[in-house]
Amino acid sequence: MSLGGEKSFKMRMRDMENAFKYRRIPYPKRSVELIAILAISCTFFLFMHTNKLNSRLKEMEIKLQPSEFSALGLTGNQISPRESSRRDNINTLHGTYQYLKSTGQMQSLNALELNNTRKAELGIVFFNRVPKVGSQTFMELLRRLSERNNFQFHRDAVQKVETIRLADDQQQELAEVISDLPEPSVFIKHVCYTNFTKYNLPMPIYVNVVRDPIERVISWFYYVRAPWYFVERKAAFPDLPLPHPAWLKKDFETCVLSGDQECTYTQGVTVEGIGDHRRQSLFFCGHAYECTPFNTVGALERAKFAVESQYAVVGVLEDMNTTLSVFEKYIPRFFEGVRDIYQSSAEYLTKINKNNFKPPVSEKVKNIVRHNFTNEIEFYQFCLQRLHKQYLATHIPQKILAP
């Protein structure tokens, strides 16, 4: 083969090799579309996942940053997830701290002045419990604490008709019964605040718990309609008549929206008895007639005064960590170890108050009800802010609180 022919042959072989190397393999049209869709889907998924992951990393970065709050020894466990999204809200622990700091009131916090336990003249805790505030849980905690901390546990017997606002002679009788208990003891009863000094008797250590007023009325509405409630009541009092089926089937939203009298909360209306579940402040205001009209300024101010001057601690159901910490700090003789007991049995203790027959209620309906609960809501927020002040007074280093 000549040199030119050999060269021409090599060039043809190279061209053929390149043709095979770079040739396009045809694909069906549908396959191409499928591959394109898959590629776009994967890209979109990766974008969304990366975006979500980036947001979570930013949230974690914020939480892990050494904030002023954490530097003061207030750990993240003491701020609920709901609080973390509303840190400047005055009704959160963090919000209360920021408000007190910005207004120069932080230095005026004094744990001794905020602790009415020192005013008590009896080594007896009187828990005049408000219904539907998780009081069953707190009763169980006190029962267990009585074994741990060596004090006696007493509760009033279940009654056919619960009377919470007592006549003067009944108030005196109640005060005498509690005063005669051995020290240390706990006594628990659904009843309004009673002034023991009025009968020349020593004052006990008053405690109580409150709850968001709207959530509380909803809880009560379904509590008295729960099947097990009637089983218990019928077992204790066989002659009690059963309620009408139509009443049992009533739901809260329809009750509010239809203007049903049971769910119409009118300013100044007075309804006697424990069935008037709307008045949380009544349990702090006292037995006076002025305490009975619903959502009035007079009842609000009386209730606030009693909390501030007479109650060692008023806990808040929605803020259990802070509540239990303050109970333990301000009344250690009775509440030492309460957080350990609660944490070790939280699942069981939570179930005590759980009502599986209570359906969710829309925010629209809750907001309708809130319009009529202005003073009750103010009282709840007052108790919450006082609880936060008590917590901060015992957890913020004294060198910061010192004037």
- The residue-averaged pLDDT of 280-308 equals 95
Confidence bin at 72 (pLDDT 50/70/90): low
pLDDT of residue 80: 42
The residue ranges of every structural domain in the chain are 1-65, 109-401
Q: How far apart are CA 187 and CA 152, in angstroms?
A: 9
Could you identify the residue written with the tokens 């060692």? 312
What is the number of other CB atoms lying within 10 angstroms of the CB of residue 256?
Answer: 23
Max mean pLDDT among 161-165, 229-233, 334-338 falls in 334-338
Q: How confident is the model at residue 56 (pLDDT cuts 50, 70, 90)?
A: low
Residue 100's closest CA among 70, 69, 63?
A: 69
The answer to whether 96 and 392 are in contact (CB under 8 A) is yes
* Average pLDDT across the chain, whole number: 82
d(CA 375, CA 386) in angstroms, rounded, equals 16
Give the Cα separation of 31 and 195 in Å (integer). 85
SS3 state at 271: coil
- Chain position carrying tokens 């006190």: 142
In this model, does residue 369 exceed pLDDT 80? yes
Does the pLDDT value for residue 182 go beyond 80? yes
What mean pLDDT comes out for the span 264-290?
84
- 5-26 confidence digits (pLDDT tens): 555 655 655 655 555 444 444 5
What's the rounded mean pLDDT across residues 364-390?
96
Count H helices and E strands in the chain, helices first. Answer: 20, 5
Choice among 49, 154, 190, 395 that is catalytic: 190
In the chain, what's the furthest Cα-to-Cα distance? Answer: 135
pLDDT of 61: 41
Among residues of the chain, what percentage have pLDDT more than 90? Answer: 54
pLDDT digits (tens, 9 = 90+) for 74-102: 543 343 434 444 445 778 888 888 888 88
Mean pLDDT over residues 39-52, rounded?
A: 51
Q: What is the pTM of this model?
A: 0.78
Q: Would you place residue 62 in the very low, low, confident or very high pLDDT band (cuts 50, 70, 90)? A: very low
What is residue 308's predicted lDDT score, i.e. its pLDDT?
Answer: 97
> CATH top-level class for 109-401?
alpha beta
- Asked if 154 is an active-site residue, the reply is no
